[in-house]
Structure 1
Amino acid sequence: MITLSDLKKFDQKGMYKIYDQWPELAKKSYESNYDEVIFNEINHIVFAGVGGSGAVGDLLSSILSKSNLHVTLVKGYLLPKTIDKNTLVIVTSVSGDSIETMTVLESASKQTCSILVFSSGGKMEKFCKQNKINFRKIEYVHSPRASLIKYIYSILKILRPILPITHDEIIESINELKIIKHNISSNNLSDSNHSLELAAWISGIPLIYYPHGLQSAAIRFKSSLQENAKSHVIIEDVIEASHNGIVAWEKISIVQPILIRGQDDYIKTKERWIIIKKYLTKKNIDFKEIESVSGNILTKLVTLIYLLDYASIYKAVLDKIDPSPVLAIDYVKKNI
């Protein structure tokens, strides 16, 4: 479908090369010499971040759903009014200059909450040093979205004392990344490459259905298709869509359904997948199924994100688009 020459020609900044290294970057990041941090009596965690940095909070929120901690995601300027001395605000900005996240950091610094900041530097590093705020510098590779794997595993190392996940589960996820790499990397540009096959199938507007627990993978796939392939994308929770969105399939559309399923979805969700697939088949609507690997929630999410992110790069190259530039985002930033 595409060749290595095509990748080199259209992916001019070599994003695919970084993705070929994702398993190694994950391992190296988790084995880094960052010190673990411990926060006592925390019952509420706020993840603040936008774009590729916001994906960190999405994924960690899924992991924390197995704990008793209340989690809030902030992808804008405003902190929730519920923060107090038992709240930990985790601020992530790969660039260190995101104005929305910087605003949240400034607001948090005036509260009684605990704060932990991750970035590659920028205004945030300077602000944290000036205000004696707990800061961890994580260098980025290529771009914020390509750096996701490095940030995830560095932060897993730092936050492990408060996360409901074990060392063995983290190692399992890295091993699964290594396994999936053999199929989806640029070393296998054949019909057997699942990411490439999915990218070639997408010709209209993807509608990504997801179950409870895998929302972060769906959000990330949407964002990656938008940034890399410059495509419009829709995402819907499969249960909620059964009460509204599915009605749209009663007429012909250029929208293409993609079903992201988990190996151990809730039994009622499994029943719903069967019904949805029967309905789409009845209406002669072609669809794709992407099933997670087995394993813990981290393993499911990072391997799905790896496969789907790579599909977005291949989609860009198939459409003869350079995945790296995001001119519209640059325009917005310049005019803020």
Structure 2
Amino acid sequence: MDKMKKLIEDFSNQLRDALRIGKEASIQPPAREIRNVVVAGMGGSGIGGSLLASLVQDQLRVPLLVCKTYDIPAFVNEHTLFIASSFSGDTEETLSALEQALQAGAQCVAITSGGAIGSLARRRELEVISIPGESKSPRANIGYSLVQLLFMLQYKGLIGGGFAEEVERLAHGLDQEEESLRLRAEKLANSMKGYLPVIYADSRLYPLAVRIQQQLNENGKHLCHVHELPEMNHNELVGWEHPEQVLTDCKVYFLLSSYDHPRVRERFRISREILAKKAANVSTIEASGQSLLEQCLYLIHFTDWISYFLAKANDKDPFPVQAIDYLKSELEKVK
């Protein structure tokens, strides 16, 4: 059975189940004033934190930092909401950061399916939102992790609850559009084979571009490069000169959203004119949905299908991540 195909097909149901889990969670208001938020996570769990930061920047009145390493910043204290997000619960970087946050007196909570972080949370009587872990694929469970992050901020009084209606609406829309969306993804993936995808996005959607990169890497077994505008216009744009043999093997994709800054849209237009003379091809991938959250979830699902079909074009199984498994097994030897 094609595990990854089934997981991608089930995305709309995953979103609905994530809403159920979040609504049934037992999370209390904060014990102390929250003055900053830190989300710790790696890979498929960590990207949920990055997406969260972008999605709530117009609502959240306190700073939010995503921690993707072993150590926490010095500002973490009793007024920090520290969210450890780990699908497996055994992510060593996130476990290390959580242990440090507990020592710093932070208000710690967890989103996990269990593992060492689940055990630590039970011992320390931390609040936990439990997510299913049966799939053994964190990257295929972004719906669970992202939705629970939103619920956690809502329960702590930091954002409103309107996101739930948006998620439900998007899930219904995906059901209606699934077949055509899949066909377009397959066509795009086949045209991507043999080329280096270069993805550019407005800074607001940059975490989404990184998510796409990760999926092309892990599912497609395919390298990808991403950058954000306007920053790209201040450096990388000049780099499109050499090496010439690499440039002609690049295909450029601009992610478009109705939430792009108007000036960034102009930068997209001018940048496309420049890059069209350098790359093998320049095209766009456009979001659909009424809200930024809906547009992000739409593009997550669409580009997950692209990564799946790219794996097939590359004659690879999208599910296993042998290089990561090998790296982890080697790290286990030097603990």
TM-score between both structures, scaled by the size of structure 2: 0.89
Deviation string, structure 1 residues 213-261 (Cα, Å, up to 9, x no partner)? 1112111101111111111111111222212212233335212211112
2:294 aligned partner: 299
For residue 80 of structure 1, give the secondary structure of its aligned residue in structure 2: coil
What does residue range 185-224 of structure 1 map to in structure 2 within 5 Å?
185=178, 187=179, 193-203=183-193, 204-224=195-215
- Higher RCO structure, 1 or 2 (CA under 8 Å, sep 6+): 1
CA–CA distance in 2 between the matches of 1:312 and 1:209?
A: 17
1:23 aligned partner: 12
CA–CA distance in 2 between the matches of 1:263 and 1:285?
A: 27
CA–CA distance in 2 between the matches of 1:278 and 1:84?
A: 49
Q: How far 1:284 sits from its partner (Å)?
A: 6.6
Q: How many residues in Structure 1 have an aligned counterpart in Structure 2?
A: 320
What does residue range 262-273 of structure 1 map to in structure 2 within 5 Å?
262-273=257-268
1:242–1:148 CA distance, 2 compared to 1 (3 A): same
1:293–1:222 CA distance, 2 compared to 1 (3 A): same
2:25 aligned partner: 34
Q: How far 1:177 sits from its partner (Å)?
A: 3.5
Q: How far 1:288 sits from its partner (Å)?
A: 2.2
1:101 aligned partner: 94
1:325 aligned partner: 320
Question: Does 2:172 correspond to 1:178?
Answer: yes
2:270 alignment partner, one of 272, 275, 292: 275
1:136–1:93 CA distance, 2 compared to 1 (3 A): same
1:6 aligned partner: none
Question: Does 2:230 correspond to 1:235?
Answer: no
1:294–1:287 CA distance, 2 compared to 1 (3 A): same
CA contact (8 A) 2:111 2:148 kept: no
1:306–1:82 CA distance, 2 compared to 1 (3 A): same
2:54 aligned partner: 62
Unaligned runs of 5+ in 2: none
1:51 aligned partner: 43
CA–CA distance in 2 between the matches of 1:98 and 1:317?
A: 29
Question: Does 2:107 correspond to 1:117?
Answer: no
Q: How far 1:108 sits from its partner (Å)?
A: 1.0
Query: Structure 1 residues 94-103 or 138-147, which shifts more?
Result: 138-147
CA contact (8 A) 1:48 1:104 kept: yes
2:3 aligned partner: 14
CA contact (8 A) 2:212 2:300 kept: yes
CA contact (8 A) 1:63 1:164 kept: no
What's the C-alpha RMSD, in Å, of the aligned pairs?
2.0
Deviation string, structure 1 residues 269-311 (Cα, Å, up to 9, x no partner)? 1110110122233447412201122422211211111111121
Question: Does 2:154 correspond to 1:157?
Answer: no
CA–CA distance in 2 between the matches of 1:114 and 1:216?
A: 26
Q: How far 1:164 sits from its partner (Å)?
A: 3.2
For residue 287 of structure 1, give the secondary structure of its aligned residue in structure 2: strand
CA–CA distance in 2 between the matches of 1:189 and 1:265?
A: 22
Unaligned runs of 5+ in 1: 1-11
CA contact (8 A) 1:170 1:299 kept: no
CA contact (8 A) 1:141 1:147 kept: no
Q: How far 1:28 sits from its partner (Å)?
A: 2.2
1:79 aligned partner: 72
CA contact (8 A) 1:38 1:159 kept: no
Deviation string, structure 1 residues 102-139 (Cα, Å, up to 9, x no partner)? 11111111112100111111111111112222222211
CA contact (8 A) 2:35 2:80 kept: yes
Query: Alignment identity in percent?
Result: 27
